[in-house]
Amino acid sequence: METGVLEQVSVTRDELFMRKLVDATLMKNKLWAHLSNECEDRREHAVYVTEYDNQKPAEYGTAIADAALAMCKMSSMYSAEYMLWNGSAFQELDLAESSSYTMELAEQLLDHYMVRGGTTYEFVYSVLDVDRKKVLFLMKEVDL
């Protein structure tokens, strides 16, 4: 098992908030599951991770990794991508986004559900892809 510092970077407070809220981070084509967050003296922040395979969710584990590693769209600013569970895999869902502000992405990470056009989606997992500047929302359709 790998240990040590994966990345040391200076980011805005909004981006830090977003980085702490996601369930996993994809960096250099490797998926890392988040374990915990820490702040030292209100200045130094850390996100503790483990290899995704050590901490993957039982129900969607392999499908989450497959979806996260298959995406290739890039952005100059952080933006959302949505993937919908079809019963066996996650497939890209095209939802028009009005904004890609980092804080709005962080706010969405706090939500458990999203309603679009009368359809309710439950967020089951989220992945921050730091190389492509994407937040991947993996979700399933639900009836509430």
Instruction: List pLDDT tens digits, range 34-82.
Output: 998 888 888 888 888 899 998 888 899 899 999 999 977 788 888 899 9
Whether residue 51 is contained in a domain is answered as yes
Domain that holds residue 102: 13-142
Residues facing 123 on adjacent strands: 139
Run of H or E residues at 70: helix 61-70
Rounded CA-CA distance 29/95 in Å is 25
Whether residue 100 is contained in a domain is answered as yes
Q: Which pair of structure tokens corresponds to residue 10?
A: 């200076």
- Determine the average pLDDT of the residues in 81-97: 90
Rounded CA-CA distance 80/76 in Å is 12
Whether residue 8 is contained in a domain is answered as no
Whether residue 36 is contained in a domain is answered as yes
Please give the span between the terminal C-alpha atoms of the chain, in angstroms, as a whole number.
Answer: 41
**Per the structure, how many domains does the chain have?**
1
Rounded CA-CA distance 124/28 in Å is 23
Where are the extended beta strands (E) located within the chain?
Answer: 24-27, 30-40, 44-51, 79-85, 90-93, 113-116, 119-129, 134-142
Q: How confident is the model at residue 144 (pLDDT cuts 50, 70, 90)?
A: confident
Instruction: List pLDDT tens digits, range 9-39.
Output: 888 888 889 999 999 999 989 999 999 888 8
With a CB cutoff of 8 Å and minimum separation 6, the contacts of 42 are none
Is 144 within 8 Å of 120 (Cβ atoms)? yes
Specify the pLDDT at position 3.
57
Is 27 within 8 Å of 7 (Cβ atoms)? yes
- Phi, psi at residue 52, to the nearest 5°? -55, -40
Whether residue 7 is contained in a domain is answered as no
